[in-house]
Structure 1
């Protein structure tokens, strides 16, 4: 019984200590979308990605147009099929069908390759930017003595913060550290 009482007091002491330690932690939040939207390097990277995407899409559109032209030609050739030219036209239609299948595979492969190329380029362009922003966030958080910084950007997908009351918004400080204008609209606080 005495051991049980001792365990209870130790557990209560630990809970009390954890609560006290938690009460002393400083919290902050940042809107990373706002930071990235105003970072010149991110804008340049986004433009580069968009241009690459347009180039890849133009190549794919050209192949699709070629496919449609050849399909229309094969359909027109099929209409000329008769008993007299059955063998000749049949061979031509078979060759056209094989050519259309090959072209279809090329289009599919081009789409896959374009997606991979864009993903690779995105990684190349944005990884250094993300590292730079993360370093700025870390630096500002250390300067301000923050134990935790939450990202309140809606589009990041990882935003699990549904309520905040207080804490320090370090978005402007991070933007200043990155050399971009700190005048940004603060996000609306979630309803309490």
Structure 2
């Protein structure tokens, strides 16, 4: 009998703790993309990334122009060259062509690396603001708005986060 009473007391305690935990859960949501897009740092990063992309494209264009000039010069002067010189020049042009063909992939990799470099501090700042607002408002869970099908407007943390970051 004493064992049954002990088990019953433990079960009642677990039920009470469980209901207390449920009562303390507060769930909110926020559109992280909206926060980042409204930050002035994001606009500056986009501008920097665009300038970087333009510089990479201009560099690739210069390489292409140099290759075309080399081909034209080779075609114009090839009659003067010996077979050995022609082979060496052809090999140089083929090497430049191979480098140029890999240029697009290299540009994409460089752009992705630069974008990650520029966006990391912005995302960290936004994430820290969301965490601070959630803590201040007593939210235990914050989900991305894009993943929710139904959500009450009162639990949208976007206005609070924008206010915390000083955004309009």
TM-score for both structures, normalised by structure 1: 0.65
Query: C-alpha offsets along residues 82-138 of structure 1, whole Å, 9 cap, x if unaligned?
Result: xxx8x83x4454233211222134435655654454444334322222221111101
| Whole-Å separation in 2 of the counterparts to 1:17 and 1:64 | 71
| Whole-Å separation in 2 of the counterparts to 1:130 and 1:112 | 26
Q: Which has the higher helix share?
A: 2
After TM superposition, give the deviation of residue 36 of structure 1 in Å: 1.4
Name the counterpart of 1:143.
Answer: 136
User: Please, which of 173, 177, 192 is the counterpart of residue 164 of structure 2?
Assistant: 177
Whether the 8 Å CA contact 1:67–1:100 is kept in 2: the answer is yes
In terms of mean alpha carbon deviation, does 17-26 or 132-141 score higher?
Answer: 17-26
Whether the 8 Å CA contact 1:77–1:93 is kept in 2: the answer is no
In terms of mean alpha carbon deviation, does 29-38 or 110-119 score higher?
Answer: 110-119
RMSD value, Cα: 3.6
Whether the 8 Å CA contact 1:42–1:129 is kept in 2: the answer is yes
| Whole-Å separation in 2 of the counterparts to 1:91 and 1:19 | 87
TM-score for both structures, normalised by structure 2: 0.73
After TM superposition, give the deviation of residue 66 of structure 1 in Å: 2.4
| Whole-Å separation in 1 of the counterparts to 2:51 and 2:22 | 48
Name the counterpart of 1:55.
Answer: 55
Q: Which has the higher contact order (CA 8 A, sep 6+)?
A: 2
| Whole-Å separation in 1 of the counterparts to 2:143 and 2:131 | 12
Structure 2 residue runs of 5 or longer lacking an equivalent are 1-6
Length, aligned pairs only: 161
Structure 1 residue runs of 5 or longer lacking an equivalent are 1-6, 154-160, 182-192
